[in-house]
Structure 1
């Protein structure tokens, strides 16, 4: 996803020889071509995020971009190529994030949740292109095309694994179990719901998104909810004796006068 945490990798060194400076005419042609391509991507992003891949025609995209329909074939090959470019190009506003950022040694549960949740909410405070791109990625989740499997492997699985590792640490688990995975999905769902249902939220209570400070307020409240979910899960495990160190951990955690779980 465009807002998913991924492991950062250093770019490969470019060993190709530098091209000779282009003439003025060549530079203008290159600039015009880049702008025409960018206009197609912007128009396609709006239409794909609103209507989805299947219901958007190349003619609609070309008309919205003020371009000839043949330009899509020229720059992208076909509609699928354009969709891939719209889906994968960063639009110059959101970069990859380090998946270790919310599982640092000594990092508190609340700080870990803050990094995770607020980073995913950040697109809601940025420009329309970022918001549309976020919407497109969630539409891809609901109406998957051939890009979805790649998105899961490269974005969602690593982010989920990092979240599970962080939760396991705070729950005192040596190895995650199904309950930890369920908890991770529930916490992620707090953010997913906002992107998927943003149009509904704006119709019911538009002021919740009317300025960046509102998104920050929502983020703080969401951190409270996520932290409560983790604490409830921890208490559930203590009561049932399923903490990492087994029944002994549950007995040791019992307060004076409180009967430990047998």
Structure 2
């Protein structure tokens, strides 16, 4: 997750204002005039920095998240132990949560894009989610001891990733049911240790399943 510098940057203020408006109202119901007024700029600034509303929406959707190759470097190295690979994977989910409202708005924007698609969600799947999933599948193949993935490895990859995804999509539910899990001073460190432990157990279960047929 990339922080937005709004101090002296008209472009940063536009990104910040657009993120909030797009997340709450969607692309179609948000006007460039609203965005410019919220950012304290004029319409010409949107045209200068982004071309048009679609260009601004695209920048908000993609620029505020880490690049897939950066995330894959955290966990995809062939020399990494399973534990280190899993720690790298889950750090990619946990570090954005420390940014509070920014991450919440980005999640709302992504959920809205899924419900009111403009075409960017399919691009996100192909250029972002798919390569990260395939990298995780390769990691699991190495540590389960198979050369080619099958449906069990693919299912395992989905489940391992889901532990991290739920921290984002289910944040409000977790806060309602057990607020201390996210609000304690060392909450993210505890989550990291727990997620790695749970994922290691899932991998061990798959290894055992294969060993016993």
Equivalent of residue 186 in structure 1, options 135, 139, 159: 159
Structure with bigger helix share is 2
Whole-Å separation in 2 of the counterparts to 1:118 and 1:130:
14
Q: CA deviation at 1:156?
A: 1.5
Whole-Å separation in 2 of the counterparts to 1:141 and 1:219:
28
Match in the other structure for 1:133: 106
1:120-165, CA deviations, whole angstroms, 9 ceiling, x for partnerless residues? 2111123643553355345545654322233222221221111101
Whole-Å separation in 2 of the counterparts to 1:58 and 1:211:
39
Structure 2: which 5+ runs fail to align? 3-7
TM-score (norm 1): 0.67
Structure with the greater alpha carbon radius of gyration: 1
1:33-73, CA deviations, whole angstroms, 9 ceiling, x for partnerless residues? x7223211111112223443344343432342234455434
Please say if residues 33 and 43 of structure 2, whose CA atoms lie closer than 8 Å, have aligned partners that are also in contact.
yes
Establish whether residue 161 from structure 1 lines up as the match of residue 127 from structure 2. Answer: no
TM-score (norm 2): 0.81
Q: CA deviation at 1:104?
A: 3.3
Whole-Å separation in 2 of the counterparts to 1:79 and 1:122:
29
Please say if residues 87 and 137 of structure 1, whose CA atoms lie closer than 8 Å, have aligned partners that are also in contact.
yes
Match in the other structure for 1:85: 59
Please say if residues 167 and 184 of structure 1, whose CA atoms lie closer than 8 Å, have aligned partners that are also in contact.
yes
Please say if residues 47 and 56 of structure 1, whose CA atoms lie closer than 8 Å, have aligned partners that are also in contact.
yes
Q: Aligned pairs, how many?
A: 207
